Amino acid sequence: MDLAFVLYPKLTALDLIGPYEVLAHQRDVTVRFVAATLDPVTADAGLIITPTATFDEVDRADVIVVPGSGAWPEPLADGAVARWLRKVHPTATWTTSVCTGSTLLAQAGILDGRPATTHWAVREELAQLGAVVSTDRVVRAGNVLTGAGVSAGIDMALTLVGLIWGDDRARFTQLLIEYAPEPPYDSGTPDTAPASVLAMMRAELGT
């Protein structure tokens, strides 16, 4: 099974690495990191990742994973990811995204009229791009899976493992990565964060 993880400047590393750690340990998978060029890509917090193939070299994949970006909406301006997605999505078994990566799927026309989720701060923008926005952490619409903000990429990938390899394999993978979150704070959503923290975040994001 061919897995294509999409790279582009200023992507959010955990959006990529979370699903990678879940999916790359499955049996009989081949992983490619696909980007516009083979030049190293710098994530939004400075991590440098090296592509293994270019968009021109990859015209199909069984599973596509599109991360989001802390520099959103900057990745939309280039359009390179959306152009590639229009080419490869029609023959993919699964097309997935994490966080604001769903806006790149929407830009490619993949989410027109379909339910999808994204980071809470860009739900309105995702709706404007044609998606039917959900507040769920993981949303399936046919062969498209979208995950909410950043850490939801792990949930999305575990969901995908269950769909492809079965629930027991997904449970096995969850145990392998010891994914049993017990955060020290309850501020993971706008509904649970204190008003002062939410206001601080909105000021930081300019929303």
- Is 119 in contact with 153 (CB distance < 8 Å)? no
The structure tokens listed for 77 are: 């301006």
Instruction: Specify the length of the chain in residues.
Output: 207
- Comparing C-alpha atoms, which of 9, 18, 58 is closest to residue 152? 18
Amino acid, single-letter form, for residue 195 = A
| Active-site annotation holder among 99, 133, 138, 148 | 99
Q: Please report which helix (H) or strand (E) contains residue 4, including its range.
A: strand 2-6
Quote the CA–CA distance of 5 and 94 in Å, as a whole number.
12
| Residue (of 11, 10, 22) closest to 179 by Cα position | 22
For the chain, percent helix, then strand, then coil, each to nearest 5?
40, 20, 45
Look up residue 139 and give its two tokens.
């949303």
Pairing state of beta strands 30-35 and 94-98? unpaired
CA 206 to CA 40: how far, in whole Å? 29
**99 flagged as catalytic:** yes
Active-site residues, by number, are: 99
